[in-house]
């Protein structure tokens, strides 16, 4: 028996090598291609969605907006036209999850510095505290690159409506007024058509790495 295998050793090596290649090709042919979902309100935790939107199953996009950034410049949807961007909600005096989220957003900023079609957008949920000078101070302390990342403030109702009706990224509080918000730790990936393509825990390194991978996948899905 040993002599038989020795005689046909080359044949068996080739056979097993070809079999491995064929199995690999079949696996790749049968494996479904990677896609990113297009999130609709009906797919998101109802606590994060306004009741009148909870059953919408298609055509959801980020609404138009007009807010003010850390340099006192008016920022609108036009500043993000034909851009992929990552959005979140925070406040500068937050002592818990915000410092971690900001640190992780800085890491993402490093990754996209040379990507012209990717930006960041952070909304304060306490505009009564986070004035333009306060946002600028925070931006300088944290290493925000003004060309890539806008920290924005504005009327609380507008921020609330964006958070609940567009990004689906905050819970209501209800104890301090009709537009109070409890922001989540979510980073929201938005495509060039203003559609939500992913939610990621901005306090977890694994989720941030997945966001970076999904961002690269999304970038390559657009024609050069």
User: Which segments are annotated as binding site for Cu cation?
Assistant: 94, 98, 183
In the three-class reduction of DSSP (H, G, I as helix; E, B as strand; rest coil), residue 23 is classed as: helix
User: Which segments are annotated as binding site?
Assistant: 94, 98, 183
The Cβ-side half-sphere exposure at 17, using a 13 Å CA radius, reads 6
What is the rounded distance in angstroms from the CA atom of residue 66 to the CA atom of residue 95?
28
Distances in Å between the alpha carbon of 160 and those of 78, 123, 168, 194, 221?
20, 10, 10, 18, 32
Cβ neighbour number for residue 176 with a 10 Å cutoff: 8
Contact between 122 and 150 under an 8 Å Cβ cutoff? The reply is yes
Cβ neighbour number for residue 167 with a 10 Å cutoff: 24
Q: What would the DSSP string read from start to end of 117-161?
A: TEEEEEEES-TTT--HHHHHHHHHHHT--TTTEEEEB--HHHHHH
Burial, 8: exposed, middle or buried (Cβ in 10 Å; 0-12, 13-18, 19+)?
exposed
In the three-class reduction of DSSP (H, G, I as helix; E, B as strand; rest coil), residue 199 is classed as: strand
The Cβ-side half-sphere exposure at 49, using a 13 Å CA radius, reads 16
């Amino acid at each position: 028996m040993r002599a038989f295998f020795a005689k046909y050793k080359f044949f068996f090596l080739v056979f097993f090598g070809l079999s491995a290649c064929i199995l690999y090709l079949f696996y790749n042919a049968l494996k479904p291609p990677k896609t990113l979902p297009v999130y609709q309100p009906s797919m998101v935790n109802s606590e994060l969605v306004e009741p009148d939107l909870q059953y919408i199953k298609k055509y959801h996009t980020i609404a138009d907006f007009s807010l003010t950034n850390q340099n006192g410049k008016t920022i609108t949807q036009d500043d993000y036209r034909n851009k992929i961007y990552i959005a979140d909600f925070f406040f500068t005096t937050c002592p818990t999850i915000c410092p971690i989220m900001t640190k992780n957003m800085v890491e993402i900023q490093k990754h996209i510095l040379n990507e012209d079609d990717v930006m960041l957008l952070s909304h304060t949920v306490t505009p009564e505290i986070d004035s333009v000078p306060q946002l600028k101070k925070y931006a300088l302390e944290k290493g925000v690159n003004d060309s890539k990342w806008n920290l924005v403030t504005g009327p609380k109702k507008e921020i609330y409506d964006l958070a609940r009706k567009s990004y689906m990224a905050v819970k209501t509080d209800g104890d301090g007024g009709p537009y109070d918000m409890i922001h989540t730790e979510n980073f929201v990936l938005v495509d060039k058509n203003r559609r939500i393509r992913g939610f990621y825990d901005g306090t977890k390194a694994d989720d941030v790495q997945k966001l970076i991978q999904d961002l690269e996948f999304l970038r390559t899905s657009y024609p050069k």
